[in-house]
Amino acid sequence: MSLQEYLSSRQARVEKALDRLTPAETDPPASLHQAMRYSLFAGGKRIRPILCLAAAEAVSEAGPGIEVPAAALEMIHTYSLIHDDLPALDNDDQRRGKPTCHKVFGEAMAILAGDALLTRAFQILSEMEAAGQERIRILGELARAAGTVDGMIGGQVADLEAEGKPVVEAELRFIHRSKTGALIRAAARIGGIWAGADPGQLEALSRFGEQIGLAFQIVDDVLDVVASSQGLGKTAGKDARQRKATFPALYGVERSRELAREARQQAVAALEPLGERAAPLAELAGLIVERAS
């Protein structure tokens, strides 16, 4: 099937799982569940859960069940976006072309909606049908990726503390590897773990995730410079105004694009031990680097 057909079919699986695993808007407390679902179903590309599905498929025939960890990844990602948009952090009024959660439901409810998505992610993982050791490994992967030591929250702290300061490449790579790359790497690893990857396969998926996670954030940095707010679905040009540590700030736009493509090449090369089953992952790497939003 074409890449677009692949994306459509996998997005449908993810959407169905998210709808099933997230409380209905009418379930009490209704106001909280409305806020959770508002942000969760605001039109994201579902890159992380689709990477999780594709990683599992690169190892074995991925049958029913993989949608649960894939949905947990998207819940964690959405929680991070809700909190990132708050006035205390990036203070953005738009996300995915719509008013941000706190603009619609208020800051207090947005904070709680993010908290609830984070908590729900670990609840559904703890209840998924999987061998006990496999479930524990997946829970650990996601907790580390979302956490403070080389994880998303730690990267967000480093990103905040680097604003307005001179930055060197090693620090910039740490920020990107942690803030964005950790969850993308986890998506690839969790898919592999769920599918029973052997150590060599899991190492290949890890290297792929590391490189494509870096490429993803470099492209985000570039798009903040060259794209419009309408095209991005969020406020463009904020990185420069906030004097954030970004690849374009350090290297300029064209060199940053080259670095993203180099990371993509390394990501695709890492997939060689997985053979033809990893072709969708390689195509997803191209989509991530060449995307316009």
The predicted model gives 186-192 an average pLDDT of 97
Sign of the C-alpha dihedral, residues 154, 159, 163, 166? positive
Structure confidence by residue, pLDDT tens digits, 34-50: 999 999 999 889 999 99
Find the Cα–Cα–Cα–Cα dihedral 56, 204, 248, 256, rounded to 10°.
-110
* Residue whose C-alpha is closest to residue 193's, from 143, 138, 147: 138
Distance of CA 58 to the CA centre of its chain: 19
Q: How far is CA 225 from CA 31, 164, 165, 244, 248, in A?
A: 36, 17, 19, 12, 8
Give the chain's domains with CATH numbers: 3-290 (1.10.600.10)
Nearest to 76 by CA among 160, 186, 189: 186
* Residue 166, pLDDT score: 85
Question: Mind listing the pLDDT tens digit for each residue in 133-171?
Answer: 889 999 999 999 999 999 999 999 999 999 888 888 899
Q: Are 141 and 193 in contact (CB under 8 A)?
A: yes
pLDDT in tens, 265-287: 999 999 999 999 999 999 999 99
Q: Which two tokens stand for residue 117?
A: 């998505």
pLDDT category of residue 61 using cuts at 50, 70 and 90: confident
The yes-or-no verdict on residue 132 having pLDDT over 80 is no
Grade residue 233 by pLDDT with cuts at 50, 70 and 90: confident
Q: Using 50, 70 and 90 to split pLDDT, how confident is the model at 293?
A: confident
Regarding predicted confidence, which is higher, 132 or 122?
Answer: 122
